Structure 1
Amino acid sequence: MLEFYFSYKGVLKRLRSGALGDEMDRLAEHFFTLGYKRATAKSYLSRIAHFSQFAGTRCGPMPIHQDVVDSYLRTFTTDSPRIGAVSALGHARRVAPERLIVSVPSKEDDPDAPLLASFSDYLHRVRGLEPKTREGVLLGGRRFLDWFRHHHPGQNLETLTAEHVLAAAEHRLSLSATSSSRTAATSHIRTFLRFLCWAGHHHQDLARVVPRTPYWRLAHLPPRLAWDDVRRAIDAIGATMPVDIRDRAVLLLLATTGIRNGELRAIRLQDIDWRAGEIFVRRTKGKRDRVAPLLEETGAALADYILGARPKVESPYLFLSFTPPVGPFKCASPVSRIVRKRLRHGGVELGRVGGAHLLRHSLATQLVRQRTPINEVADLLGHRSINTTVLYVKVATSQLAEVALPFPGGVA
């Protein structure tokens, strides 16, 4: 398989020598299967071959342990080649785990690991929290433990007092810049303390000691764009390159259905009902499925993408990354980058807030301004409570002015 990327016999001989020489053809097939560009695959293979030569002088045919990898990485004096080498060795470990033995950190390296694992299990099995929510709460627990270990080294959690909790909460609040982050910080501490009592790590429920922070959910207007700006950004996307066709379909789907980032990434080809003009949205934030309308323009953009631009790989998911390894988006960041990039190319100025949720807010605002009944907006967005959708009523200033009562003593 190496012959697909390299043609000179001397180069092939060098690549197949060293500690990983017998694995190089498997690695070449690995990059080919994942759809990497030829130049990228050759770069990875060359880096692995360089490490293979280095490891061959130290361990021969024996398995390569972490100390050899660390010694190799210390030979680099700048960050860029070291980062490239780490990425290449990551592929080698996945293809030949029996040849690259990675050392597993012992529990002594992190004495709180078992406790945090138990806390994560509690959040999943007892509290029923979704993975993304668990990450935030788990981080809050980790931060509380770090503060306690730093300020009271050597002490057991059973010695935790109300004074300790108040001091830790004050520390976290001092690092929080917004009312929402302050509320989240104290909520995470409260959840962790309840877990400590529930699991028997402390005899008292100290959660009641954590101060409540004021947070008025409807005090601010949601970040949003003018609908003309959204339309201009979509129209500015070309239709010549496959990536342009995909990005236009992504923005149209987000802007016309209001689906969330994770919901877009979970859409499968079979979820589109072309005849009914609907799209099935799986496992939403409210833990229930729903159906969103598929407008004619959005459906045409999706058809163009599927028929002419979607990579020819075996995947049930609708939207795929064009960056190797080709496949579905694994996290929210790529979709957010697509949205922000296309909005900026369309001349839209963005602040800190951007991504799929900005288009969701913009659609809801536009529908309310068009006097769409609030319960229909709630159904489209998948809100379980209409109180969540009420937020968007605040932006309909012209309609609110019509229902305002006259000022006492003023002109009727």
Structure 2
Amino acid sequence: MLEFYFSYGGVLKRLRSGALGGEMDRLAGHFFSLGYKQASAKIYLSRIARFSQFAGARCGPMPISQDVIDSYLCTFTTDTPRIGAVSALGHARRVAPERFIGSAPSVDDDPDALLLASFSDYLRRVCGLEPKSREGVLLGGRRFLDWFHHHRPGQDLGALTAEHVLAAVEHRLSRSATSGTRTAATSHIRTFLRFLYWAGYHDQDLARVVPRTPHWRLAHLPPRLAWDDVRRAIDMIGATTPVDVRDRAVLLLLATTGIRNGELRALQLHDIDWRTGEVFVRRTKGKRDRVAPLIEEAGATLADYILRARPKVDSPYLFLSFTPPVGPFKCASPVSRIVQRRLRHSGIEFVGGAHLLRHSLATQLVEQRRPINEVADLLGHRSINTTALYVKVATSQLAEVALPFPGGVA
């Protein structure tokens, strides 16, 4: 497979030597299967070959240890080539894990590693939190531990007192700018303290000490766009390139079904029911599957994307990235960037990403006097109170239910 990228015999001989020489053809096939451009794949293969020569001189045919990798990375004096080497070695470890000696995280480097790992397991098994939700709570636990180690060096968590907790909360709140972040901060500390009591790290449930912070969910209007602006942004997307076709399908699906960023990324080809005109949304934020309607325009654009523009790779996911490695979107940022780029192209001033279209659809439906329970079902809200946020934007309807001003004209 290396011959697809390199033609000179001397170069091929050099690439196939060293500690990873026997794996280079597998690595070449790995980059080819991921859809990397030829120039990009050659850069990665060259980086791996340089490390292979370095490792071969130190460990020969033996598995490569973490010490060898660290020694190699120390040869770089600037960040850019070091980052490139780390990325290349990540591919090598995924393709040929048997050639590397796994290295467990050192407890000496992170004394809280085992505690936080246990906390993460508690959040998953006991609290039932999804990975994305666990990240924020784990960060809150980490920040609490950092404060405790800094202000009470050398002390065990068993010595934690209510005064310590209140001081830590005060410190955290001083660094929170909004009511939402303050509420999240205290909630994360409260969850961590409950874990300490549950796991036996402390003999008291100090979560009861953490004060409640005021946060009124309905105090602000949701960010949204006028429906004419949403329509203009979609209409300005052409159909000349595969990226244009995909982006138009993405915006139409977001704007007409109200699905979330993560739900869009999780859609698979078999989730589209073309006969009934429905989209099956799995594993939603509320952990319930739901069905969203697929309007004719969105269905036609989606069919055009699948038949004409979607990359020809073996992946069940509906929307794929055109940037190598070709495959499904792994995080929320690429989808939000698509929305932001298309809105800016149409000259729309805004703050937000993909969720902005969800807010805009909900607002449009409320202004059209659609029943609030229908809007809740479309958005996948478990509580009607969540959907009630959008009622505030229907000012014309609110004026109709206002009571007469005392002393005013009847």
Q: 2:166 aligns to what?
A: 166
Q: 1:274 aligns to what?
A: 274
Q: 1:23 aligns to what?
A: 23
Instruction: Kindly state the Cα deviation for residue 102 of structure 1 after the two structures are TM-superposed.
Output: 4.5
Q: 1:402 aligns to what?
A: 400
Cα distance, 1:134–1:105 mapped onto 2, change above 3 Å: closer
Residue 258 of structure 1 contacts residue 364 of structure 1 at CA under 8 Å; is this kept in 2?
Answer: yes
Residue 196 of structure 1 contacts residue 202 of structure 1 at CA under 8 Å; is this kept in 2?
Answer: yes
Cα distance in structure 1, aligned partners of 2:190 and 2:209:
8
Cα distance in structure 1, aligned partners of 2:208 and 2:100:
50
Cα distance in structure 2, aligned partners of 1:348 and 1:81:
39
Give the letter aligned to residue 258 of structure 1: G
Cα distance in structure 1, aligned partners of 2:256 and 2:239:
19
Higher alpha-carbon deviation: 47-56 or 359-368:
47-56
Q: 1:319 aligns to what?
A: 319
- Aligned counterpart in structure 1 of residue 388 of structure 2, from 379, 387, 390: 390
Q: 1:369 aligns to what?
A: 367
Runs of 4+ aligned structure 1 residues displaced above 6 Å come to none
Query: CA RMSD of the aligned region, Å?
Result: 1.5
5+ residue gaps, structure 1, are none
Q: Deviations over 1:179-213 (max 9, x none)?
A: 00000100111111112122222111111111111
Q: 2:231 aligns to what?
A: 231
5+ residue gaps, structure 2, are none
Cα distance in structure 2, aligned partners of 1:282 and 1:12:
47
Q: TM-score, normalised on structure 1? A: 0.96
Q: Deviations over 1:290-321 (max 9, x none)?
A: 11010010000100011011111222211112
Instruction: Kindly state the Cα deviation for residue 405 of structure 1 after the two structures are TM-superposed.
Output: 1.5
Higher alpha-carbon deviation: 398-407 or 68-77:
68-77
Q: 1:98 aligns to what?
A: 98
Cα distance, 1:314–1:65 mapped onto 2, change above 3 Å: same
Cα distance in structure 2, aligned partners of 1:126 and 1:100:
35
Give the letter aligned to residue 359 of structure 1: L
Higher alpha-carbon deviation: 240-249 or 99-108:
99-108
Task: Give the 5 Å matches for 1:204-353.
Answer: 204-351=204-351
Cα distance in structure 1, aligned partners of 2:160 and 2:181:
24
Give the letter aligned to residue 393 of structure 2: V
Q: Deviations over 1:331-378 (max 9, x none)?
A: 212211211122112212233xx2221110011011111111111111
Task: Give the 5 Å matches for 1:55-66.
Answer: 55-66=55-66
Cα distance in structure 1, aligned partners of 2:67 and 2:238:
50
Residue 383 of structure 1 contacts residue 389 of structure 1 at CA under 8 Å; is this kept in 2?
Answer: yes
Give the letter aligned to residue 88 of structure 2: A
Residue 66 of structure 1 contacts residue 103 of structure 1 at CA under 8 Å; is this kept in 2?
Answer: yes
Instruction: Kindly state the Cα deviation for residue 123 of structure 1 after the two structures are TM-superposed.
Output: 1.8
Instruction: Kindly state the Cα deviation for residue 217 of structure 1 after the two structures are TM-superposed.
Output: 0.6
Task: Give the 5 Å matches for 1:29-68.
Answer: 29-68=29-68
Instruction: Kindly state the Cα deviation for residue 75 of structure 1 after the two structures are TM-superposed.
Output: 2.5
Q: Deviations over 1:26-76 (max 9, x none)?
A: 111111122211111111111111222233333333332222222222222
Q: How many residues align?
A: 410
Q: 2:156 aligns to what?
A: 156
Instruction: Kindly state the Cα deviation for residue 222 of structure 1 after the two structures are TM-superposed.
Output: 0.4
Q: Deviations over 1:152-186 (max 9, x none)?
A: 11111111101000000001001101000000100
Q: 2:200 aligns to what?
A: 200
Give the letter aligned to residue 121 of structure 2: D
Cα distance in structure 1, aligned partners of 2:208 and 2:147:
19
Residue 92 of structure 1 contacts residue 100 of structure 1 at CA under 8 Å; is this kept in 2?
Answer: no
Give the letter aligned to residue 324 of structure 1: P
- Asked if residue 121 in structure 1 is aligned to residue 118 in structure 2, the reply is no
Cα distance in structure 2, aligned partners of 1:198 and 1:93:
38
